[in-house]
Chain A
Amino acid sequence: MARTVWDSTVGKKTVMAVSGIVMLLYLVAHVIGNLKIFFGAAEFNHYGHWLRTVGEPFMHYEWTLWLVRIVLVVAVVAHAVSAYQLSRRDIKARPSTYVHKKPRASYATRTMRWGGIILGLFIVWHVLDLTTGTVHSGGFQEGHPYQNVVDTFSTWYGNVIYIAAMLALGLHIRHGFWSAAQTLGVGSRTRDRALKTVANVLALLLTAGFIAVPVGVMTGVVS
């Protein structure tokens, strides 16, 4: 069965849909956590520490966090590998383009591939910046996420990279969520409008929620 799924274009699209939904659910939790930054350093840092103690005493310190990280890495890799293989196949299936070109699909649909690459690069930078601190501007302080976030968004490039990536994320979710519903066979004529609305609302809320943090730092609401 696994072989059938992986060898089929329809199956690989299913892998993309499922991994995409896993990442989307994570982003909803992520944005809610991010917004705690507007309630001060104490609450935000406390939330950051709590992420490491979730599930105790059943789970050991950081076990839940690592479990989530593993699931996310698997989801990102599965999503990217499927997208790469399907894209190569798609390009091969249409080697010569028309002399008379007519782009008609929506902007979000046409930018899924480039948007995905931008998001992949962003994730690498984001982890190196705020999880490991490798490329962090100013001294990265382990256990002080509030200050680290303020430092990142005090640089012009930190703001530019982040906001550009979040706009790409919004476009990606706009087409991706609705598309996943079609791939998993839950779309229908009667549900189409509802699914498109949910996709747009999710894209808008997530993008606005994430961008609120750098905007907060830039305007001095968060300092």
Chain B
Amino acid sequence: MKLTLRVWRQKNADAEGAMSTYEVDGISSDMSFLEMLDTLNEELILEGEDPVAFDHDCREGICGACSLVINGDAHGPERTTTCQLHMRSFADGDTIDIEPWRASAFPVIKDLVVDRSALDRIIQAGGYITAPTGAAPEAHAAPVPKPDADFAFEHAECIGCGACVAACPNGAAMLFTSAKVNHLNVLPQGAPERETRVLDMVAQMDEEGFGGCTLTGECATACPKGIPLVSITGMNREWLRAVRKGKR
């Protein structure tokens, strides 16, 4: 496959960025999108140019490190992470636009790498439980109804990649925050902090400068793990419940 890539290049956080055009040849349709970028970078290094910086880690679709907005879609045209996107999703001769996540809470560090530590601070604000840790507890000690366990697991699938923020026209982190809130709030282990968790995490989300939700549904469409839009409805319900209980 021969491709034309238009890639966002930005030297550092303060520099002005722009799209640069590159041609790559000899791409196999079995390569992942990141392997295609590795090929480009090898050529750039041989030519003595600065390789394109992009985030990646496990390359198995489970760590949430890879990002990239590909042709206007967070993680590209398939419902998966960029590392699990394969070049067979593109045609020979295609022009592909590659941009970083865009949100003021995600400042660009270099090229396609953005600082997503705002999501870590939302987790720190309440995305944990105070149950004692150590050896695994007796499984029957805290019974969890099967539907609740399934619900919690569905939301626990969130890998915190930030595709929801990147796709949202308001740069909102509602889907991410709601996944974390719903995951823990439905379980008995998360019950002691049920109210403070949602209040603190939403407050931190606002403080980080994320936008608000206008229910466009772009986040749920982009989510590689299929966190549903109704997850946000669930967080709103938890938040209103906590406010009514007068926990703030």
By a beta-carbon cutoff of 8 Å, the part of chain A in contact with chain B is: 1, 4-5, 7-14, 86, 89-102, 104-105, 109-110, 112, 175, 178-179, 181-189, 192
- B residues near A (Cβ < 8 Å) are 6, 8, 19, 69, 71-73, 97, 99, 102-105, 168-172, 199, 202-203, 205-206, 209-218, 221, 228-230, 232-241, 243, 246, 248
Known contacts A1-B246, A94-B169; decide if A187 and B230 are in contact (CB<8 Å).
yes
A175 to B213, CA, bound (A): 13
Complex contact B213–A9 (CB within 8 A): yes
Query: Cβ of A99 and Cβ of B169 under 8 Å apart?
Result: no
Complex Cα–Cα for A96 and B107 (A): 11
| Closest CB pairs A-B (n = 6) | A185-B237, A93-B211, A93-B171, A90-B170, A9-B212, A102-B72
Whether B236 and A182, one on each chain, are in contact in the complex, defined by CB atoms closer than 8 angstroms, is yes
Which residues of B have CB within 8 Å of A98? 69, 72, 99, 102
Beta-carbon contact of A94 and B230 below 8 Å:
no
| Residues on the A chain within 8 Å of B202, using CB | 8-10
| Count of A-B contacts judged by CB separation below 8 Å | 134
Contacts of B232 in A (CB 8 A): 182
Interface centre among A11, A90, A94, A183 (most CB of B within 10 A): A94
Min C-beta distance of A200 to chain B, whole Å: 15
Chain B residue nearest in CB terms to A82: B212
**Also in contact, A94 and B170, with CB within 8 A (given A89-B211, A102-B72, A104-B221):** yes
* Chain A: CB-nearest residue to B70: A100
Does the CB pair A185–B212 fall under 8 Å? no
Contacts of B97 in A (CB 8 A): 99-100
Given contacts A98-B69, A98-B72, contact A92 B212 (CB under 8 A): no
